[in-house]
Structure 1
Amino acid sequence: MTSSAPATVAWAIIAFSVLSVMLRLMWLHGRRRPGERLVTYGLLFGVGAAMLRERAVQNALQDAGIFQVGFTRQLGTVFIVLTFAPLVLLALSWSETWPDRAVRTSRVVWVAVYLSVALMLSAGTHARDLGQYIDRTEGWQTVLYFTLFSLWCATTGVVVTWASIRDLRAGHLRPSHRLTYGLILFVGVWATEEAVSILVSAVCAATGTGRAFVDFRFAANERNFIYLLLLGAIPASAQVMVEIARRLRMDPASRAVRRLTPLWTALVTVCAAEIPRPSQQDPAVGPERRLHRMTVEIRDCLLVLGRYSEPPPDDLPEDLAETVQIVQALRRKTSGATPGRHVRLHASAPGRDIVDERRTLRSIAAHWDEAAAHVDGAGLLDGAR
């Protein structure tokens, strides 16, 4: 195919996608990031497909004596098929059983896609010899060519749809996660419909029937892919933006670490004897792991302070009162008070996951100085009396 999108729009999208691919290869392509590698492969093949569909590239390759325009057009479609392989593997990797079959399944998928593209290029020889678009060429070769394409498109759609439905039915998802899976489900259903529609168009073209539908599919195929690349490049670049923010220490984890540090320091200093901590901190640990470690240690400290705690004061706003309760327990332990009956503090209450707990701890940290001032002021008043 040859893209019918405006050249300025197409090349702007391609440039954005190329930049995303380059940054992903630099920062997100390590062996510890198999999922990110699959996303990078998919985006890389998508960029290749978009470039091969541009008329300027097709003419340049022909003028250089590398590929004829007809071959380059079909090669662009082949690169779209290559894009499907990492997407299928990415969706399969969401399963809990994936680690046991990752290597074997990955080999099967990659070998299958390479064989498919070889067969597609072979089947496309007939149309190239006639100097025609294979989308409009009569003959069984057209059916074979687009059957292979539709199989990969449908496989991607079915696997993505199944994985989304499975996780949505499992429940206990946050609203943002439900929205994400809903969007993935929409893409999966759409890809499945496209596979069926393209195969029907191929059969019509091969048999010389349904010209109106063939023309409709032909125009849609020429127009749509560059915008689909943009839809894929935007979420693929999101992790790049996160990495840039992390390197600038402006990511949510780094900001949370800075906010929690005063609270964490005060609690760990007093409760060091009761909570397990590493003998030394690894400076290479990223902000996400550091935040997780701080959250666990703060939670352990709050469990220890529960034996020095009393109910929160009634004359203060709820968030401030809960923080004052923690500060008072901390002061009692520091002063050598005798532990009493355990009182569960708000941040260590059951039924929350790590995200909710971090949100609660950030609220406590935001009121920490105010709560400490309140407790100190109350102590001075008691002393004056």
Structure 2
Amino acid sequence: MLFCGLGAWWQVGLLAADVIVNYTLAWSFDANRSNQHRRQCLFWLTILLNIALLVLFKCSGSIPIGISFYTFQIIAYQVDVYKGTCPREQSLKRFMTYLFFFPKLQEGPITRYDELSTRLCKPLCRVENLEEGFRIFVVGLAYKILIANKLGGLWKQLSIIGYDAMSTPLAWMGMFAFTLELYFDFNGYSLMAVGIGKMFGFTLPQNFLFPYSSVSVSEFYRRWHATLGSWFRDYVYIPLGGSRKGMPCTIRNLLIVWFLTGLWHGLHWNFVLWGLSLFVLIAMEKLGLRKLLEKYRIVGHIYVLLIIPLTWMLFANQNFSDLCMYFTRLFAFGENSIHVYALDWLEYGRRYAPYLLAGCLFLIPSIERFLLSQKKKNRVFTTAILTVLFWMSIYSIYHSATDPFMYLQF
């Protein structure tokens, strides 16, 4: 709390007040078990207060540290306590530790209370946890510093020169650079959080399960930001009826989930459009496309590797004219594909090729698994690689400007 307070005391004060209020409201559920009507009113008051606070700060444009993430954790906790699926935390200190736990505070992973409750009482702080956690941390650090930050330079340069001044090959290169930057930035943070948690004796859930190995958009979003996807599944989609009430209701429920997912990322039209575009794709898969993609898996892999980057362009551009211009450059053919400088993609390609290749390489699940392997026969080799990656990251941090995590804005 003191460390976070160095940047903005009011944000830490807000979170502390939020924790105390929610701790008290959860206590009121137990105190009013004999009066179900009052208990239900208190429950809905709790949910509405938390949602209202999140919407208020989203609208104001001044977003406190991690509010999008810890609000969802609070709502999940309150729902589980109200339903009786997890016991109420008796200790205010442990409840505050659960929400304040600094590795996951800013960008998750969104962690359910029952996933940490046992370790809140007795963390397993062991030497082997320190080693395993540090290995995970170093991989995440390298993803962020050595891949995401470097590729972010290409996307920033395209924004500076203007989308109308780039060729079609460069537009495609920029799109894939942003795709890789977003993945390694967010996955890097998540791995760092999991690694630090492990060093302290806590097992945080994995947030990225090799999403670019998917063969459908549905599968991709079960693997991408998995804790957010499971939150919407368990606390929105299933309570609405899930897929149990026929296809029309399933489509309606998907529409609600993806509309809310877009709004969670920001109260801007591009996030809503991004969410709705994913709804359309997943609805098509529900109606039969997914079976075809799973049958012909090569086609499915190509489909994901093309369609997901295109949807990220909706995510990346808040200005509608910029979005239209970017898609115009992506799908310009013949003479129209060359604008201002036909060989711009070669110039930027030579500069960013090592980082693009590294990004593609580390999308392969077996490489990350190998680096994190606990097998003794690989230990010396992987330790040497991780040592090099760690010091390369430190060197890059020392010589580069500050480049914050992309999901801090949400």
Larger Rg: 1
Query: Whose RCO is larger (CA < 8 A, sep 6+)?
Result: 2
TM over 0.5: no
